[in-house]
Amino acid sequence: MGEQEMKNLQARLAALSPEQRALFEQQLMRKTMSAQSERAAQQIPRREHNRPSPLSFDQERLWQLHQEAPDLPTYNVYGAIRLKGSLQLKAMEWAVNEIIRRHEAWRTVFRVVDGEVRQVVLPELLLQVAEADLTYTPQGELEQAVQQAIGEEVKRPFDLEKGPLLRVKLVRLSEQESCLVLTVHHLVTDRVTFSIVFEELTEHYRAFLQGEGSKLPPPALQYADYAEWQRSYLQGDVRGKLVDYWQKKLAGSAYVLQLPTDFPRPQVQSHRGARVFFTIPEKLADQLKAVGQREGATGFMVLLAAFQVLLHRLSGQEDILVGTPVANRGRKETERVIGYFLTSSVLRTQLHGQLSFLDVLKCVRETAVEAFAHQELPFRLLQEALALPEDTSRNPVFQAMFVYVDVDDRPLQLPGLEIRYDLLDAGTAKYDLTVGLVERECGLECFFEYSPDLFLDATVGEFAANWLRMLPKIIENPAGKICTLYA
């Protein structure tokens, strides 16, 4: 391959999301398989029964974590959508219930059957959209009342045995303004699920207004089908090779991030949390992406490298482990399935002050591509394979999480309504420190989620300020040593 062809290939790779890059890597590897083996590896059969099914591996881990603090909303996934215009409540309620009818995951509950936790699909479930009327609230008190109503809604825990594991609430602010709050337990949803839901919600809402039924084809697969298949697939050589890769990749790590804390670490995590919000302006975000494109790296990789440099600076450690959620939907059958496919991948970077940012970025790029190509090993099985000593004071394997959300190509679009999304804080934290970045037209909406048992709000605010001061320096001189970024 010539030099120009290589540059063209790097440019095309840089335009791919991390998940797309992983699929590209998987496709390259699969070219060595026979056509018959390829077809066998791709097939996920429908289960031919309606009995309770086992959980997927990461579902089981999440269920166990929920049992440790069932009254906390730690694993509630939520969103608040501001609507301007006249929302048709009956159309919205019908649209939500069409999704529930079509997708088993959203009418699933979790019960212990014969000593084992199982997912039980309810034959039917009819959800009512709750309402809160704030139209008579004085204007000066309205926003505070809205935030209180949203906060109470997203913080309410779910009963996993009884269900339902989702709630929809409409908060009316005025005749032409409202807020739709969607809360779902993580056991039955992930980010791709929300993309599917928004697309279907748009379709069903329009169909109801036009007096039509749903025109969408029935799902080819349900989540419990995947969970049963995964249990049989991740055995023998398949599981052994994945475990072997990760054990070698993480060998020798201390698995502990020593950030400077304001308070002594409690012996048991409370999962209380708070967030500091900030923005990376569009121009700065585009400049960072341009740095990556020149190196065949995505925006995800550039910001991840910058985050790991920040953690290196704060902790003084040279071996940094960061977790990141991965979609784990590399198989075509799972693309349109609602449910919890998400797993956590571990990205390890070894760095010191004499490296350039480009050196770090190269390492992050290679590590990320490899990690996404090996994403089918559930984090629960990785944790078992590593067999780390139990430590109730911190998360196993990694304590910092990096979450990067590309612009959703299937946003919620309801006829006659203007829509914008709210940034929320439910007061929980799964890790010592999480950075979340969401692409918007204005740039990147960001937050640092942290444990107030460890940090003061002002301390985390300074973390964010340090990071924001670092980013323009990366753009100015990406080939410079990372120790110069700290000044």
Q: pTM for this one?
A: 0.87
When pLDDT is averaged across residues 178-204 and rounded to a whole number, the result is 93
Residue-wise pLDDT tens digits, 126-170: 999 999 999 999 999 999 999 999 999 999 999 999 999 999 999
Residues 157, 73 contacting (CB under 8 angstroms): yes
- One DSSP character per residue, 267-297 reads SS---B-EEEEEEEEHHHHHHHHHHHHHTT-
Residue-wise pLDDT tens digits, 88-116: 999 999 999 999 999 999 999 999 999 99
- Quote the CA–CA distance of 270 and 273 in Å, as a whole number: 9
Residues 205, 168 contacting (CB under 8 angstroms): no
At 35 the pLDDT is: 34
At 387 the pLDDT is: 94
Residue-wise pLDDT tens digits, 234-257: 999 999 999 999 999 999 999 999
The sign of the CA dihedral 343, 468, 195, 38 is negative
pLDDT band at residue 40 under the 50/70/90 scheme: very low
Superfamily per CATH, domain 254-412+425-486: Nonribosomal peptide synthetase, condensation domain (3.30.559.30)
Distances from the Cα of 318 to the Cα of 88, 251, 459, 463, angstroms: 55, 15, 22, 18
- Quote the CA–CA distance of 280 and 282 in Å, as a whole number: 7
- Quote the CA–CA distance of 474 and 2 in Å, as a whole number: 30
> Could you tell me whether strands 400-405 and 433-440 are parallel, antiparallel, or unpaired per DSSP bridges?
parallel
Q: What is the 3-state secondary structure (H, E, C) of 1-52?
A: CCHHHHHHHHHHHHCCCHHHHHHHHHHHHHCCCCHHHHHHHHCCCCCCCCCC
Find where tokens 């605010």 sit.
461
